Structures are given as C-alpha cells and as structure tokens.
Structure 1
Amino acid sequence: MEALKASASLTSHIETVSKENGINNYVITDVQTNKKGEGYLGQIFLVNIKDPYGEKQLDIVVKAAFKDEKVRTILPIRMSFLNEIHFYTDVLPTFQKLEEKHGVSIQFQFVPKCLKVSAKVQEEMLILENLKPSGFEIFDKKLVLDEDHVRLILKKYGRFHGYSFVLRDQNPAVFERLSKGCCNIYEEILKEEFFANRRAEMANVAQN
C-alpha cells in the first residue's frame, strides 16, 4: 500500500479510473505487489477499489515501469511499455473494428480491458482489468505447459496473426502504420553486452 501511495502519478491515475467507473469517493481496500523478479520490467500492483457508500467495486492491475536509470539502461523498459500501450490503444481497437466489419460472432476474448495508460517518460504505466476475480489464474512459470495449454496459446496466436494478414490485404496503409508502431524488443535486448555475455555463458555450460 505504501509503495503505491508514494507515487503521486499512480494514485492520480487510479483516482481517474475510479471516477470513470462510477466510484467517486473510492476506498482502496487491498493492494498486492509482485515479488522481486516477477515483474521484470516494472512493479505490478493488484488493487481492489470499493465505493464505501454503495456496492460498486473495481479490481485492477497497475503495471508501472521501473524508474531506476541503471535498470533502464540495461533493459528496454520504455520501449516495452510503449509496445504494450500501442497494442491496447491502437492495434486492438483496429482488430475489433475489423471483427465488426466482417460480422465475427466470437470476438477477442483473450485480453483484459485497458482502463488507462501513460507514455510519459519515467512514468510509463498501464491500468488493466484484473481477470482473477473472473476465474482466471496465472500459470505457474516453473511448470511445463501441457498439450491443452499449448494448443490454446497457438490457436489464439494464430487468430491474432490471422487478423494481421487480413488487415495487410484489405488496408495496407493501416497495417503499415500499426507495424511501424511496434518495436523488436528481443533485438534490442541482444544488443546489450550483459545479455550477450549471459548467452555466451549458457552456451558454454550447454557444451560442457
């Protein structure tokens, strides 16, 4: 709770989201954070918001970029957040319009609602719907994905990329604009000496 309160910009964004969802006099009843190493590029806050005078409540996930310059020098933090912001604010709405145009009966159901974003330098942030109250669980990253999970992931990826092909065919100008808004994060990571050295170390371990 204190880590969240320490950021004036985050509390301001949360207040805005609360009011936009009909909770004017909001109370934050619970805040959970990610453990060290589980956010990779930032802090994650799971926030429960309630209306003390009514029954409305809101469960959100706040993803806030790390501000430490040393970390930001090693990792492409800003670029990663701008990629995700681009997806929610531009790519996804475009794909949803594509669905409406073609009368797709089963629409995008594998992304949370995006309630607020910030692309300001050192204050990159997204506020998303928390899907856990709806029954979704985070898969244990220490476990191997079973066949059902792999099939589900590949089917969703296939549909996502299928929309890209449709858009490129039917509206190449929009496709080009969306493509230019995406950065190759992996390519940027490989440019860093730290990761190049780590990859070399792992290759030597594998050979031995």
Structure 2
Amino acid sequence: MNKYIESWVKEAIDGEDISSYEVELRGSTENGDSFIGQVLFVKVQGTDGNGKPKQLNLAMKLPKENATFRENMGKVSFHQEIIMYEDVFPVFETFQHQRQIRTPFSAYPRCFKCLKLEDKEVLALEDLNAAGYAHHNKDICMNLAHIRTVLREYAKLHALSFALRDQNKPLFDSLTAQLKEPFLDFLTESKVAFDTSIQETLDLLKSSGDEDLYQKYKRLSKGGASRLVEIIATVDEKAVIVHGDCWNNNFMFQYKNNDKSSPTSVMILDWQFSSLKSPAYDLAYFLYTTSTRSANLFHQYLQEYHKHLSEFLIQLGSSPKLFTFEDLQRHWKDFQIMGLLFIPTAFKFVVGDKDNLPDFGQIVEGQKMGDYLMSVPLPKNKEFYERLKPAIEFADE
C-alpha cells in the first residue's frame, strides 16, 4: 500500500471509532470516468470501540498529476469543491434542520475529510458504489424517471439559495463571496476551440443534406463562443449556487430490485464548478448533455422542476414568488442558447470515441487548455448526430 494513501486515510478516518485497521486499495477510475481528477477506491477494515468488526469504504479524490493543468484549472477547481463541502453544505444542512425539513437536500456523498497538501488536494468521500449506487451509462440519454429524479434535487438545491438569501442575506453573501469561476475562466481561454466545434457542427449539418436544420443552427449559434461566455457570465438578482457540471458521469443512482429503469434516489458528484449563476444554467447543461433525445419535453421538464422548487421554497419558509415560472422562462430563453453552443464541445467528452476522449493529464508544459481541446476531434459517430438533431429541432427561436 502506498504510504501516501495510508497517511491520507489516517487523517480521513480520525474520529470514526475504528482501530487496528487495514487499508486495501480496491481500484481507481479510468480516463473517461473523470476529466478533472482521479478517484482511488479504498476499503478500511478494523474494529470499533466495542471490539466489533467495522468497515469504511472511501473514494479518495485527487487532481490529475499534471503541473500545467493544475496551474490552469486543477488547483482552483479542487479548492472550489472543498468550499462546497466545508462551508456551503454545512450551512444548507443547518438551515434545513432549523426549518425541520423532513426530506432535505442531501444528494451528495458524505465527505470524511478535505486535505490541502503542498502539491495536491485530497477529498476523502463516501464510496457510493459500496452503498449500492451506480453510474448511468454516459453514452445513453437518460429516461424520464432519471431526469425527474435529478430535476427534483436540483430544485431543492436552488431553492436553498433563494430561501437563504431571502432570510439571511449576509450569510448567503458570505458563502458566495468565496466562490470563484473556474469553468468560466476555462471557457474564456478556450473560445477558439469552442468556435471551431460550432463550425464543425455546422459543416456536419450542411453535409447531411438537412438544409432547414443547418440554417436553424446557424441562426441559433450566431455569436459563437463569445455569446456562450456572455450568457454564462451573466449574474443577476435571481442567481443561485449551482452544481455547475451536469453531465451523465456526475450522477449516481440507487435502484430497487435492480430495476435500472426507475431510480429511487440520486447522488450528485463533482462540485468543482459550483458558482453563482442562474438556475437555468444547471437545467440547460443537464438537459442538453443528458437528455437531448427527449428535447421535445424540455418545457414539460421546466414545469416539473419549477413545481418542486416552489414546494420546497414554501417548506423552507419563503415565497415561491422569489422565482416565478415567468422568471424561469425568461432565463431559459438565453440558457437554451448556451446549451446549443456548448454541446458540440461537451459531446467530445460525452459521446466521443473512447480512444479520442480528452485527458487533461496529457497537457504538455506551456500548452493552453484551449489549444489542447482543439486537438480532440469532434465526434462524427451516429450517436452525436442523433442527439444533436432533436436538440436543434425543438429549440425556440
């Protein structure tokens, strides 16, 4: 066992009433499972204070071993996630406890310890695999049951921001003042790469022979990456703390009787891109990267989300008028454009050929993030086109 892993585990389980333990490394994530960091799965077996057997299952999350990537985005994104676990979630938990919420927002893995070391950060999280959770296949769009499960939790997450700002604005402001913008910084630096993906998508649509679809996407993508950055950078009085990284691999679902078609709960992973943004940011990112085959139902999804948001706001002691459905529709008008501008590049990660998936651990010294992203080819497979087509067809102009 690596001595560093053992030292991290020792700090993580301090106070967990387990002694005489052994540490076993059970595996790790592969490229395509996580693009910002890597996860080591560790089993800790020992005894409790009464001498009874006790086992802890940890997911040790660390950044990619790449100095250039760490300097550009790795360090700040991991610090962002630490803020969420050490500051934001505890405040949300206390707030919900004070309001005696029976079904609170708790859709994130338990964090045993966050370590800030000289050359890396380590988050010791609960291993959700051992708790019966499983990833949804990132290559397949989510069905209605999965989408509804996620939207319900996003509604609770966003409602907490609205209610906390409504009832204790100084506390909310102090939380959000800590949050930075690693994802926006990444987009700003990578504008040429995003513009290239958008143009390649236009070329693909034109060569497909569907002139109407090509012309529609040409109109909707006007402004390109500059428009994308402008939308994401917009923060108004309706902004909330968002998850920020809403693609398939960042959700793990629990099922009953191994029925993988209908989840009973979801856990949301990877909070490194959390920041202060419109609720429509999470919704557009989530729906456009995971659910494009059902793009004709996007407005129904918005209605369901808003129903859950309003109900949870009332439970928290605030008015649903803090974010009306008309507000959501106004925000969605811009953020659906964000989704359409974002997905050509996002699909490099989601439906790209396995051999060509981005790996930020491969960035060479002095290389910019955008330049590296340019080297990753746009997917030209059938799945890419079949998910792109309905997203454009059902977008509002």
State the TM-score, normalized to the length of structure 1: 0.88
- Counterpart of 1:43 (choices 38, 42, 48) is 38
* Runs of at least 5 residues in structure 2 that lack an aligned partner in the other structure: 204-397
Instruction: State the SS of the aligned residue for 1:183.
Output: coil
Which residues in structure 2 correspond to 1:99-178 (within 5 Å)? 99-178=96-175
Over residues 32-89 of structure 1, what are the superposed CA-to-partner deviations in whole Å (9 max), with x where a residue is unaligned? 1111242212221011111178521110101011242122244x11111111111111
- Aligned-partner Cα distance in 1 for 2:21–2:31: 29
Answering whether residue 99 of structure 2 is matched by residue 98 of structure 1, we say: no
Structure of larger gyration radius: 2
Residue identity in the other structure for 1:59: N
Residue identity in the other structure for 1:28: V
Give the structure 1 partner of residue 70 of structure 2: 72
* Shift of residue 205, structure 1, vs aligned partner: 1.0
1:46–1:61 Cα contact (<8 Å) kept:
yes
- Aligned-partner Cα distance in 1 for 2:76–2:188: 14
Residue identity in the other structure for 1:57: Q
- Aligned-partner Cα distance in 1 for 2:142–2:191: 27
2:43–2:55 Cα contact (<8 Å) kept:
yes
Deviates more, 1:28-37 or 1:178-187: 28-37
Which structure has more relative contact order (CA 8 Å, sep 6+)? It is 2
* Shift of residue 158, structure 1, vs aligned partner: 0.8
- Counterpart of 1:58 (choices 56, 59, 62) is 56
Aligned length: 200
1:114–1:126 Cα contact (<8 Å) kept:
yes
Residue identity in the other structure for 1:33: S
State the TM-score, normalized to the length of structure 2: 0.48
What is the alpha-carbon root mean square deviation over aligned residues?
A: 1.9
Deviates more, 1:117-126 or 1:94-103: 117-126
- Aligned-partner Cα distance in 2 for 1:11–1:197: 43
Give the structure 2 partner of residue 12 of structure 1: 7
- Aligned-partner Cα distance in 2 for 1:70–1:200: 23
Instruction: State the SS of the aligned residue for 2:135.
Output: coil
Instruction: State the SS of the aligned residue for 2:200.
Output: helix
- Aligned-partner Cα distance in 1 for 2:115–2:10: 14
- Aligned-partner Cα distance in 2 for 1:17–1:23: 11
Deviates more, 1:156-165 or 1:11-20: 11-20
* Runs of at least 5 residues in structure 1 that lack an aligned partner in the other structure: none
Give the structure 2 partner of residue 25 of structure 1: 20
2:105–2:156 Cα contact (<8 Å) kept:
no
- Aligned-partner Cα distance in 2 for 1:24–1:168: 43
- Aligned-partner Cα distance in 1 for 2:14–2:158: 35
Over residues 129-164 of structure 1, what are the superposed CA-to-partner deviations in whole Å (9 max), with x where a residue is unaligned? 112222111111111111111111111111111011
